[in-house]
Amino acid sequence: MSKRVVLTGLGVVSSIGTGKEAFLDGLNTGSSGISKVTRFTTEEGEDVYAGEVADEAFTGVLEKSAVRRMDRFTKLNIAGVQLVVEDAGLTREQLAEVGESVGLILNTSFGSWHSTNVFTQQIIDVGPAEASPLVFPNTVLNAAQGQVAIRFQTKGPTTTLTGIPGITYGLDLIRSGRVEQLIAGGVDEMHANAAKAYAVADMAVIDEHGVGMRLGEGIGGMFMETLESAQARGAHLYAEVLSYGIACDPNLSQEFTKADTSGESFAYAMNQALTEAGLAPSDIDLILVAANGNQSFDTAEATAIQTVFGEAAANIPQLNLKDQIGETFGASHAIATVAGALFLDKQSLPSGEKALTHVLVNGVEIGGNQVSVVLKRA
Encode pLDDT of 279-321 as tens digits. 999 999 999 999 999 999 999 999 999 999 999 999 999 999 9
- pTM, to two decimals: 0.96
Q: With 0-12 CB in 10 A as exposed, 13-18 as middle and 19+ as buried, what is 60?
A: exposed
Share of the chain above pLDDT 70, in %: 98
Domain 5-232 has CATH 3.40.50.300: no
What is the predicted pLDDT for the residue at 57?
84
Q: With 0-12 CB in 10 A as exposed, 13-18 as middle and 19+ as buried, what is 57?
A: buried
Residue 156 · residue 82 · CB < 8 Å: no
Q: Rounded mean pLDDT of the chain?
A: 94
Q: Which of 84 and 65 is assigned the larger pLDDT?
A: 84
Reported as a single tens digit per residue, the pLDDT across 362-373 is: 999 999 999 999
Confidence of residue 70 (pLDDT cuts 50, 70, 90): confident
Determine which of 49-63, 83-97, 146-160, 183-197 has the lowest per-residue pLDDT on average. 49-63
What is the predicted pLDDT for the residue at 85?
97
Reported as a single tens digit per residue, the pLDDT across 350-363 is: 999 999 999 999 99
242-377 has the same fold as 5-232: yes
Would the pLDDT of 67 be above 70? no
Reported as a single tens digit per residue, the pLDDT across 203-246 is: 999 999 999 999 999 999 999 999 999 999 999 999 999 999 99
Containing 28, the helix (H) or strand (E) segment is: helix 20-28
Q: Which of 130 and 360 is assigned the larger pLDDT?
A: 360
CB atoms within 10 A of CB 210: 13
Reported as a single tens digit per residue, the pLDDT across 252-290 is: 987 899 999 999 999 999 999 999 999 999 999 999 999
Containing 116, the helix (H) or strand (E) segment is: helix 113-126
Confidence of residue 33 (pLDDT cuts 50, 70, 90): very high
Domain ranges of the chain: 5-232, 242-377
Would the pLDDT of 7 be above 80? yes
CATH homologous superfamily of domain 242-377? Thiolase/Chalcone synthase (3.40.47.10)
What is the predicted pLDDT for the residue at 9?
98
What type of residue is 2?
S
Over residues 338-342, the mean pLDDT reads 98
Give CA–CA dist 314/306, Å, rounded.
9
**2: Cβ–Cβ under 8 A, 6 or more apart, which residues?**
175
Reported as a single tens digit per residue, the pLDDT across 242-261 is: 999 999 999 998 789 999 99
What is the predicted pLDDT for the residue at 298?
97
Give CA–CA dist 366/32, Å, rounded.
24
What is the predicted pLDDT for the residue at 68?
67
